[in-house]
Amino acid sequence: MAPTQTILVVEDEQAIASFVAAYLRKDGFAVQITASGREALTLVGSEPPSLVILDLMLPDLDGMEVCRRIRETSTLPVLMLTARDDDLDKIAGLEVGADDYLTKPFNPRELVARVRAILRRGGGKSRPEAGVLTHGDLVLDAGRRECRVGDEEIRLAPKEFDLLWELLDHRGFVLTRDQLLERVWGYTFAGDTRTVDVHVRQLRRKLGDAAPIVTVWGIGYKAGPAPAPAD
């Protein structure tokens, strides 16, 4: 039997925290709850859980800041909860490195399905574990989880790395947003395809001219052909 995975639920609304915990426990997870962003960071440092469910609105540190600080030291999966159906919140959450988000009120079954999908991805087979892909000056090293452009290391969030890997690994082929969601995020149901767009935008911002990603209107994205070597 696989070891029990622990989920850390960071939520100050006790009713929601208990409700989420009950569903996760029923599904076989161990659950730890805290109402404090600061305590969450301490727990992540001392006894890292398998995944963090993080509410955006917390009394001490907000969820965005907690996520940003987790990302400084760790690739621990983070699922963000947001109270408002506000695109800006979602996008900001993904930009600080959350793996996924869910808007309240949510269906607890969907929450559990997303947690499973993220964990499957994180420990899963589809995540590249070894090998190197290059595109002009851009080098992706799966073993080291490292992205370089020339001599410069570019820090990518885990999903940004996986998305770029997936595109480069299928260079020249168009992948639809749904295909990318399924391969990179592990969704087997229709997720929010804007997640893909947000991550592509981040990659373009971080990589600048070295970004090999081409938008194929109405379909999805592809990695373009490698540039000719400069002479």
What residue ranges bind Ca ion (CB under 5 A)? 12, 55, 57
Nearest distance, CB of residue 182 and Ca ion, angstroms: 31
C-alpha to C-alpha distance for 162 and 126, rounded to whole angstroms? 9
Q: How, if at all, do strands 132-135 and 100-103 pair?
A: unpaired
Between 32 and 75, whose beta carbon lies closer to Ca ion? 32
Burial of residue 105 (number of CB atoms within 10 Å: 0-12, 13-18, 19+):
exposed
Nearer to Ca ion, 53 or 203 (CB): 53
Shortest distance in whole angstroms from residue 51 CB to Ca ion: 18
Nearer to Ca ion, 12 or 192 (CB): 12
In the complex, what is the shortest distance from the CB of residue 159 to Ca ion, in angstroms, rounded to a whole number?
Answer: 24
In this complex, which beta carbon is closest to Ca ion, that of residue 57 or of residue 174? 57
| Cα–Cα distance list, 87 to 72, 83, 203 (Å) | 24, 11, 19
Q: Which is nearer to Ca ion, 10 or 51 (CB)?
A: 10
Contacts 24+ apart (CB under 8 A), 202-206: 202/94, 202/95, 202/157, 202/160, 203/156, 203/160, 203/163, 203/164, 206/154, 206/155, 206/156, 206/160
